């Protein structure tokens, strides 16, 4: 080896073979520490999320119908569990050109995206105009044609409406289609470090599987994992379960009660001329109102028990009637 030669031919070949096989990072020995690439951070939703599963099933059903209308043949659509990755990491893994479409999520003020590779667009246009969809997109086509852009825009608009219909039974959201880009660097819907939930949908057309990714912010997806789960063994579904849980939690709240023993009216003149020892006459309280803040809650009679002043509750009061009677 020459003195100025950094790597031998065998060493360079070994590094290339290692990178091609995906074994670029050294494996850790038993009990050792394995290096973690901080940029490759992803998480799959392992827990069952009935709400998300229900939405995904409806989207698959609607995508299947829309795909059949555009591809002019039977299309089988499947999906997989969403994966949470950093937005910048996901963009760097997309091929150029790609078909990227911005989604504005109203009224939450969040943004998501739909993405497809160039082969998806090529097959869509080819089948729509009578082709068999088996040809591969020529590698020298680095930009989409005007016809391809119009076709994919119509296709995405249909899928966006399908998304709204799928989400509406659970959450009433509006997905507004924004700008479209072919270069991932120009689609700025989130910071590179923000986490996004990526849900893949596969359109199976004959022997060819075309992939569509829907990217939604984790701020929208993660809370949906807890919607639709029963709160206990005796839960009655998503609405009854939440209602019962809130009712039980409210019962543990501490409330300070005050008793209004008597009321009277005096003139300002009498009040300003009053001296120590003067007596302000009041009527004997026949009924005592127990209040929480300014809210009447119970009525009772005043008395003593074990030489301590007390109120014996006779009934709970109507909030409306008690408020009218007490001004």
**Domains of the chain by range and CATH?**
42-226 (3.40.1550.10), 253-270+282-325 (2.30.330.10)
Residue scoring higher pLDDT (64 or 5): 64
The pairing of strands 42-44 and 195-205 is: unpaired
Give the list of residues 6+ apart from residue 317 with CB closer than 8 angstroms, or none: 289, 296, 297, 298, 299
Query: From CA 325, how far away is CA 323, in angstroms rounded?
Result: 6
Residue 262 in contact with residue 282, Cβ under 8 Å? yes
**Tokens 């050294």 map to which residue?**
26
Query: What is the token pair recorded at 49?
Result: 């999320």
Q: Is 255 helix (H, G, I), strand (E, B) or coil?
A: coil
Give the number of residues written for the chain.
327
The predicted structure's pLDDT at residue 232:
41
End-to-end CA distance of the chain: 101
DSSP structural state of residue 65: H
Please name the residues in contact with 202: beta carbons below 8 A apart, sequence gap of 6 or more: 77, 78, 79, 80, 209, 210, 211, 212
Residue 175's nearest CA partner among 318, 55, 32, 30 is 55
- The answer to whether residue 261 scores a pLDDT higher than 80 is no
Q: How much of the chain, in percent, has pLDDT values that exceed 70?
A: 74
| Angstrom distance (rounded) from CA 226 to CA 222 | 8
175-211 residue pLDDT tens: 988 888 888 778 888 888 888 888 899 988 877 788 8
Average model confidence (pLDDT) for the chain? 76
Give the gyration radius of the chain's Cα atoms. Answer: 34
Contact between 125 and 148 under an 8 Å Cβ cutoff? The reply is yes
- pLDDT exceeds 60 at position 45: no
Q: Pull the structure tokens for residue 119.
A: 């082969």
User: Which pLDDT band holds residue 228 (cuts at 50, 70, 90)?
Assistant: low
Closest CA to 65 of 159, 2, 129: 159
Contact 138, 183 (CB under 8 A): no
Q: Angle between the 118-128 and 50-71 helix axes, to the nearest 10 degrees?
A: 50
The arithmetic mean of pLDDT across residues 77-96, rounded, is: 86
Q: Which of the four pLDDT bands, split at 50, 70 and 90, describes residue 161?
A: very high
Residue 324: the pLDDT is 47
Element (H, E) at 174: strand 174-181
265 pLDDT higher than 90:
no
Alpha-carbon distance values, 321 to 110, 188, 211, 258, 260 (Å)? 45, 57, 63, 19, 17
């Amino acid at each position: 080896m020459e003195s100025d030669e950094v790597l031998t031919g065998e060493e360079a070949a070994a590094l290339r073979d290692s990178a091609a096989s995906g074994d670029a990072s050294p494996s850790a020995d038993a009990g050792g520490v394995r290096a973690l690439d901080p940029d490759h951070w992803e998480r799959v939703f392992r827990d069952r999320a009935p709400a998300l599963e229900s939405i995904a099933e409806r989207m698959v059903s609607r995508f299947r119908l829309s795909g059949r209308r555009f591809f002019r043949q039977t299309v089988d659509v499947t999906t997989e569990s969403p994966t949470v990755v950093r937005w910048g990491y996901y963009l760097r893994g997309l091929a150029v050109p790609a078909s990227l479409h911005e989604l504005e999520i109203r009224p939450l003020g969040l943004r998501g995206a739909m993405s497809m590779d160039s082969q998806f667009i090529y097959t869509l246009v080819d089948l729509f105009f009578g082709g068999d969809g088996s040809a591969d997109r020529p590698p020298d086509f680095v930009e989409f044609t005007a016809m391809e852009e119009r076709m994919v825009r119509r296709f995405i608009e249909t899928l966006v409406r399908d998304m709204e219909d799928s989400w509406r039974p659970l959450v009433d959201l509006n997905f507004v289609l924004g700008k479209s880009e072919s270069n991932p660097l120009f689609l700025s819907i989130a910071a590179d470090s923000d986490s996004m939930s990526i849900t893949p949908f596969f359109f199976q057309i004959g022997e060819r599987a075309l992939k569509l990714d829907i990217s939604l912010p984790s701020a929208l997806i993660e809370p949906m994992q807890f919607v639709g789960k029963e709160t206990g063994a005796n839960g009655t579904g998503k609405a009854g379960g939440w209602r019962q849980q809130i009712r039980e939690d409210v019962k543990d709240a501490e409330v300070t009660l005050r008793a209004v023993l008597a009321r009277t009216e005096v003139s300002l003149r009498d009040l300003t001329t009053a001296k120590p020892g003067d007596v302000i006459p009041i009527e004997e309280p026949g009924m005592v109102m127990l209040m929480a803040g300014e809210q009447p809650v119970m009525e009772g009679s005043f008395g003593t028990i074990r030489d301590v002043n007390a109120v014996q509750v006779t009934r709970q009061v109507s909030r409306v009637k008690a408020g009218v009677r007490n001004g």
